[in-house]
Amino acid sequence: MSDSNIVPQTPTNSILSKISTYEDYLSAYIQIDQANSSASWFKADLLLQMVKKLGENAVKKLAEDVKQPTSTIINYTRVALAFPPDKRDEGASFSLHFQASFADSLDEKDHNFDGEKRFKWLDKAIDENMSTRKLAEKIQTEKMGITTNETAEDQTMIKDAQRAVYEVRGIMDKLLKEVKRERNKEAYFEIVRIHQAANVRRS
């Protein structure tokens, strides 16, 4: 066998070569998932501390240096603000905490939330084993004031509106990437502002 046919023994290959049963794979997956969640929380806390010490402009600077949308960095700080360490649930993913945070509105000036619905929604999502998408839909449904008295036609119209919102956000994400490639910073930050405004609850 020639050297060209030898697969380098990386740490990943070394680990994979030692597992074979379903229980092994399940255990490994859970550990990786937990590690990812821990890393996300550490990143969120790190970014929140950076903002507190260096100010909002540090967010834009870091976003440019790591080549990520400013909204991504802001989302991390949002979750850290919404769920301080003593309010986090280890049984729920970082993404689920992120979606639950939108149950309350965040004041961009004083960085305070207007309520505590997010904690109840997180508990509900865990109890009902909701996906992040399902949680987002239910929170949006509550914000739009859907009640059991709504007609079937009303329900359909509201669902169509929700679907349109998701599609618009998808288009905005694509525009963000395109504008970033063009290095048009002024337009880029304007789109970020519009994108963030779409996530703010309208009274």
Contact (Cβ atoms closer than 8 angstroms) between residue 96 and residue 125: yes
Residue-wise pLDDT tens digits, 49-106: 999 999 989 999 999 999 999 999 999 999 999 999 999 998 899 999 999 999 999 9
Residue 1 lies in a domain: no
Residue 63 lies in a domain: yes
Domain count, the chain: 1
Q: Could you tell me the pTM of the whole model?
A: 0.62
- The tally of CA atoms less than 13 A away on the side-chain side of residue 57 is 1
Residue 78 lies in a domain: yes
- Whole domain around residue 183: which residue ranges? 9-197
Residue 185 lies in a domain: yes
Residue 3 lies in a domain: no
Phi, psi of 111 (to 5 degrees): 60, 35
Among residues 59, 64, 73, 66, the alpha carbon closest in space to that of 179 is found at: 64
Residue-wise pLDDT tens digits, 152-170: 566 677 777 777 777 777 7
Residue 203 lies in a domain: no
